[in-house]
Structure 1
Amino acid sequence: MKENLSKENRRSFLLKSSIALGGLALLNPSKAISASLDNQEQSFKIITGPYLQTNFGNSISILWITNNDASSWVEYGESPDSLTNKAFGKSELGLKPAGRLNRVKINNLKPGVTYYYRIASKEINNFQPYKVTYGETIYGDTESFANLNTSKEDVSFVMLNDIHDRPESILHLLDLDKGNKRDFVFFNGDIFDYQTDEKQIIEHFLQPCTDYFAKNIPFLYVRGNHETRGKFAREFSSYFDQVGYTSFTLGPVRFVILDTGEDKEDTHPVYADIVDFDQYRIEQAAWLEEEIQKKEFKNAPFRIVMMHIPPRYSGDAHGATHCTELFEPLLNKGKVDLVLSGHTHQYKVHSPDKTSNNYPIIIGGGSRDGSRTLTKINATKKEIQVSMLDDSGKEVGRYVASRK
C-alpha cells in the first residue's frame, strides 16, 4: 500500500484524477459520470491502467484500456532495464486479441521475485480482410509487482465493500491503512449502484485504484447484488480478470470466493425474465461441495470464505435466505474459520453460533459517511487477526481466530 496521503496530497490526487477524466472531480460522481472518454477522434492513448489482478499461483493478469482498437502486449523482466520477455493476451481459436480492452496473463513466474513490466499497444487504423494498417505504438511507464510465494508464512490484506458509486471512499478508506504493506486489496461487492457504461467503471473504480495502488498491488473483486443490475451488467466482467467465484491458496490460508448474485427473486418484474441466479447459486454449492473435499482446503491451517451476501444475518429476502440454505451447511461441514461479507450496510462481528453458523461472520459497513469501514486481515499459521475501522479510523470490530 502507498504511504499515507496528507490532505494536500489527497487534493493533488483528486486534481490529477479529474484532469485525467476530462476535468471532472471524483468528488462529484454525478458530473464525472458524464465525462467523455470515448472520443474516437482523439489521438491514440491509454484511457486507464495498467491494473493488476491475480489468483496467485505464480501468475498475474495485467489489464488496461485504450481509446481505439490495438494489438497489445506486455514487456517484462526481473530488472527495470531488461524487459526482455513479451506476453500477449489469450488467443481464441488462434486469434490474438485486437480490441480496446486489454488483458495479458503472465504465467510461470518465479516465487518471491519482483518483476518489472510495461504495457504496449499498437493502434489498428484500418482492419481489412487481407491487410491491417497500424498507427502509433504507445507504452506505459515501467512498473513493478512482487510475485508472492504461495507458501509464505503469513498473508495480509484489506477489504472494502458497499462503496456504491462513491469513488472518493476508496481513497479515503485505503488512506486509513497508513502505508502498511498488503498482499492484495479485496473488494467485496456493491462498489457500484448498478452498471451504466464504461465511463462509470473507469471513473468510479478503475482510475482511483490505478492511481492509488493497482499498478503494483493486485486486487480481487467479487460482484455484489448491485453489480448484477443495469444495462451494462453483462459487459461488466470484460473489464476484469475475475469477478465471480473461485478459490486459491496464499500462505497459511485457503481462500474461497462465492458470487452470491441478486437478493431478489429471479421472477421479480425488474429482471424481465432474463436472470437465473438461483441456478447459479446451486452451481456454486455443487462446486463448494467439491472444494471442501480438496486436500488444499482440508490441509490449510485456515480457511477464509469471502462472499457479498453473508450466509446469515442479512434479512429474509430471497437471495439471502437461499444463500443460508445452500451455503451454511457446507461452510459448517468444511469447518471454515472465517466468513467476510458486506451487503447489510451495518458493520458487525458475529461470533460462532453452535445452532447455526459454527464460524465467525464479519460484515463490513457502508456506504455513507459514518458507516463506511475498512477491514484489515492478517493471518499466520497460528491465528487470524481481524480489525475493522470506521471511516474516522476508529476500531469498531475485532476478532481473533486461533488455529484449531
Structure 2
Amino acid sequence: MQKKDARTNRRSFLKSSLLLGGLVITQHEPRAQHAPESKEEFSFLAGPYLQTTFANSMTILWVTNREASSWVEYGTSETKLDQKAYGTSELGLKPAGRINRITLERLQPGKTYYYQIVSKELVEFQPYKVTYGPEKRADIEQFTVSDPTKQTVSFLMLNDIHDRPNSIGHLLGLDQEADRDFVFFNGDIFDYQTDEQQLIEHMLTPVTQLFAKHKPFLFVRGNHETRGKFARDIADYFQHIGNSAFTLGPARFVIIDSGEDKEDDHPVYAGIVDFDSYRREQAKWLAEEIQGEAFRRAAFRVVLMHIPPRYSGDAHGATHCTELFEPLFNQGKVDVVLSGHTHRYKIHPPAAGLNNYPIVIGGGPRDGQRTLTRVEMTNQQLNVQLLNDAGEEVGQYTVNRKK
C-alpha cells in the first residue's frame, strides 16, 4: 500500500470518484483527553465531514480545540456563498461549544452546493460581555444532493475495523467504480471508547481525508461502541448513531442499533446499562415502520444492523435480536439484512421457517479476514458483492424485485 499525495487525491476525487485508496495513517495508542493549552493556536481538530438522511438536507460536522461560535456559509456558486446556517438553537440559545453539527435544509435534489465552515473563538464569556478571538475558516468544499427519486443507488459498507484506521483507506481503495451515494460503517469501528483523540484519529480524520468532505457516511454502533468511559459521549460527534429509516431511490433503508451482546446484568457493566429495554423500544418502532407507506411501497427493503438477526452465536444480545427482530423482518418482507460482528464473512441465503431473507455478514478485522461490501440496486434488482482485502470476490447475492 503506497502513500499518495493528498492534493492529488483531492483532485482525483473531485473529478470522478468517491473513494481513494492508499491513505497511510499512523496508529497511536489512545491517550487520555486533555484540555488544549492556552498558547495553542485556535484550530479545527476534525472535519468538516458530512452525514445525511437524504431528505434534501445535509449535515456538516466539525470539532474545534476551544469553544466557539460557529456557522456554515454556503451557496450554489463557489464565488457566492450567500446563505448562512447555524446549529439548532435550544431554549433560544445558539450553540457555543467545540462540537459542531449544522444541518442545511430544503436543498435542491441533484444540485451541487459549495460550503465553508467558520468558527470564531469565545475567549471570555461574561454575563454581559462576550469577547471573541480569531475567526477560523476552512477551505471551501462541495457536495451534491442525492435525488430521493433516483433510479439507481449504490453504497459501500465497512464493519469491524477495531481501531485499525489504515483499514478504512485500504478497503475503500478496493472500489474503483464511479460515484457511490454513501458509505455505511456498520459498527465496531473501535475496540471500546477511550476519548476524543481516539475518535478523531481512528475514524474522523481518515474519513474526512478520504471522502467525507464531499460525500456523506452513516454510522451505527456495534457492541464495542457501547463500551468504555467515552461511550456516552460519542453520539455528540455524529448526526445519529441509533435506529433510523430513510428512502433513497428504489430502497427503504432501516438502521437498527443492536446494542451490546452481553447481558445487562453482566458484572463489567456495573448495573448502568439497559440494552434489553432499548432493543424492545426499537422493535416497537420497527413494527410501526414496516406498516408505513414508505416501507411498503419501496422496491427493496434493506436493513443494516451490526449484530445479525441470526447466525452469530448464542450470546444474549444475539439471541435477543433474533427473538425481537426476525419475526418483524419476515412480516415486513425485508429483502436483505447487512451485518458484521462475527468476524467471519459469509452470505446466508433465506432459510425456510427462519430468516425469509438473505443475511450478509462482513468479515474483519485482521488481514485476510477484512471485507468491503458493495451494494448496487435498480428498481428491478439488488446486487450484493463481498470483496476480501486482496480485492477478490468472496461472496455474491442477487435479489430480484418481488412481484
TM-score range, shorter chain: over 0.9
Residue 188 (str. 1) matches residue 186 (str. 2): yes
2:18 maps to what in 1?
none
Residue 28 (str. 1) matches residue 23 (str. 2): no
Deviation readout 1:339-373 (Å, 9 max, x if unpaired): 00000000000000112000000000010100000
Identity in percent: 61
| SS of aligned partner of 1:29 | coil
Deviation readout 1:265-284 (Å, 9 max, x if unpaired): 00000000000000000000
Residue 100 (str. 1) matches residue 98 (str. 2): yes
Amino acid of the residue matched to residue 167 of structure 2?
A: S
Aligned equivalents of 1:369, 1:40: Cα separation in 2:
42
Amino acid of the residue matched to residue 95 of structure 1?
A: L
Q: How does 1:198-237 map to 2 (within 5 A)?
A: 198-237=196-235
Aligned residues: 388
Deviation at 1:322, TM superposition (A): 0.2
1:86 maps to what in 2?
84
Aligned equivalents of 2:54, 2:280: Cα separation in 1:
26
Structure 1's consecutive aligned runs of 4 or more residues displaced over 3 angstroms after TM superposition are 10-14, 32-40
Deviation readout 1:135-161 (Å, 9 max, x if unpaired): 101101010011111000011100000
1:305 maps to what in 2?
303
Aligned equivalents of 2:87, 2:6: Cα separation in 1:
36
1:252 maps to what in 2?
250
Q: How does 1:52-71 map to 2 (within 5 A)?
A: 52-71=50-69
1:47 maps to what in 2?
45
Q: 287-296 or 179-188: which moved more? A: 179-188
2:2 maps to what in 1?
7
Q: How does 1:1-400 map to 2 (within 5 A)?
A: 7-9=2-4, 26-30=25-29, 33=31, 38-178=36-176, 180-400=178-398
Deviation at 1:7, TM superposition (A): 1.8
| SS of aligned partner of 1:9 | coil
Contact 1:29–1:165 (8 Å) recurs in 2: no
Contact 2:33–2:196 (8 Å) recurs in 1: no
| SS of aligned partner of 2:72 | strand
1:3 maps to what in 2?
none
Amino acid of the residue matched to residue 299 of structure 2?
A: P
Structure 1: segments with no counterpart, 5+ residues: 1-5, 15-24
Change (3 A) 1:231 1:277: same
Amino acid of the residue matched to residue 42 of structure 2?
A: F
Contact 1:74–1:86 (8 Å) recurs in 2: yes
Aligned equivalents of 2:3, 2:205: Cα separation in 1:
19
TM-score normalised per structure 1: 0.93
Deviation readout 1:217-256 (Å, 9 max, x if unpaired): 0000000000000000000101111111000000000000
Aligned equivalents of 2:191, 2:38: Cα separation in 1:
28
Change (3 A) 1:379 1:63: same
Contact 1:348–1:397 (8 Å) recurs in 2: yes
Contact 2:32–2:195 (8 Å) recurs in 1: no
Change (3 A) 1:358 1:223: same
Q: 174-183 or 319-328: which moved more? A: 174-183
